[in-house]
Amino acid sequence: MKKTFIIANWKCNPTTLKKTKTLFDSIKKQSNKTKKGNNEIVICPPLVYLPTINAKPTNIKLGAQNCYWEENGAFTGETSPLMLKDLKCKYVFVGHSERRKYFNETDEKINKKIEAIIKAKMIPILCVGETKEEKKQEKTQQILKTQLKIALKGVKLKNTKLCIAYEPVWALGTGKACNPDEAKKINLLIKKIITQLYNPSIAKKLPVLYGGSVNSKNANAFIKEACMDGLLIGGASLDAREFSKIISSI
Ligand code: PEP
């Protein structure tokens, strides 16, 4: 049975440990009730909360929103892949558009992070997507090609797991999700680019997820109509009831 990824990006929320524990416990309770199929539910909280939230005894997996590429050393303020692995993280985001925009995360840096995450035996979730302006100028194909080509330069994927999340920047936090027909075209385009960079068998196996204003009303269409392998959920994942509705809707 095909695995469906449901990945929560809490971004820089909640603001206290107490609120975080309440949210996580509520998601745990709800997800126990809505357990079905072969879903991989992943929660990506702010780093500071990772050691204190306890996913047991559920099947919920933990992920990080960012990491550095070095294992340790004089890199003030950074978190290494080894540290995340030690905190039982299974996944790490790379190239989220907010990190590209506000923290100068370039495709070259993303490439180093992907290599480091794979070396630490975790799974990178590579976020790609065009801005509103780039879409208007019909540059989506070119942008995705460049982002994937540089981010995956030299990355061996034969026996390695990696997820690609198509997150059109114009759809993030706007309430204006991508049309499922359009998302399906992008899904095929990403598979075509991966085929060109690697081969058809790797492209077939690589999960492609959609993120951008997903809610309980549109989630199903991205899985069933756009044939996505999963969803990346920002705003709606901060509401335990809405998040569990999304899980049970797909
Ligand atoms: C995101 O920023 O990764 C995201 C999916 O956000 P939202 O669901 O709020 O659009």
Helix (H, G, I), strand (E, B) or coil at 52: coil
Pocket test residue of 7, 65, 210, 233 for ligand 1, highest count of atoms within 8 A of CB: 233
Token readout for 96 is 């989220």
Distance 97 CA to ligand 1 centre (A): 10
Helix (H, G, I), strand (E, B) or coil at 71: coil
Q: What is the pLDDT of residue 54?
A: 75
Whole-angstrom Cα Rg for the chain: 17
Kindly provide the b/e burial profile for residues 105-120, where b requires at least 16 CB atoms within 10 angstroms of the residue's own CB: bebebbbbbbbbbbeb
Q: What are phi and psi of 126, to 5 degrees?
A: -85, 115
C-alpha–C-alpha distance, residues 217 and 231, integer Å: 13
Domains of the chain by range and CATH? 4-249 (3.20.20.70)
The DSSP letter of residue 76 is T
What number does the ligand 1 atom closest to the CA of 211 have? 5
Q: What is the pLDDT of residue 30?
A: 81
Q: Which residue's CA lies nearest to atom 6 of ligand 1? A: 234
Within 8 A by CB and 6+ apart from 74, the residues are none
The DSSP letter of residue 179 is P
Strands 61-64 vs 208-211: parallel, antiparallel or unpaired: unpaired
Q: What is the pLDDT of residue 23?
A: 95
Residues identified as active-site: 96, 167
Q: Give yes or no for a contact between 190 and 210, defined as CB atoms under 8 angstroms apart.
A: no
Task: Give residue-wise pLDDT tens across range 26-48.
Answer: 998 887 766 666 899 999 999 99
Residue among 47, 35, 39, 15 at smallest CA distance from 233: 39
**Ligand 1 pocket member 129 (CB < 6 A):** no
Distances 18 to 15, 24, 53, 68, 249 between C-alpha atoms, Å: 9, 10, 10, 27, 29
Beta bridge mates, 137: none
Q: What is the pLDDT of residue 59?
A: 84
Distance 173 CA to ligand 1 centre (A): 5
Pocket test residue of 172, 210, 228, 238 for ligand 1, highest count of atoms within 8 A of CB: 172
Q: What is the pLDDT of residue 34?
A: 65
> What is the residue-level pLDDT of the chain in tens, covering all 250 positions?
778 999 999 999 999 999 999 999 999 888 776 666 689 999 999 999 999 887 777 789 999 999 999 999 999 999 999 999 999 999 999 999 999 999 999 999 999 999 999 999 999 999 999 999 999 999 999 999 999 999 999 999 988 899 999 999 999 999 999 999 999 999 999 999 999 999 999 999 999 999 999 999 999 999 999 999 999 999 999 999 999 999 999 8
C-alpha–C-alpha distance, residues 243 and 52, integer Å: 21
In the chain the first and final C-alpha atoms are separated, in Å, by 14
Residue type, 84: L
Q: Give yes or no for a contact between 240 and 23, defined as CB atoms under 8 angstroms apart.
A: yes
**Ligand 1 pocket member 235 (CB < 6 A):** yes
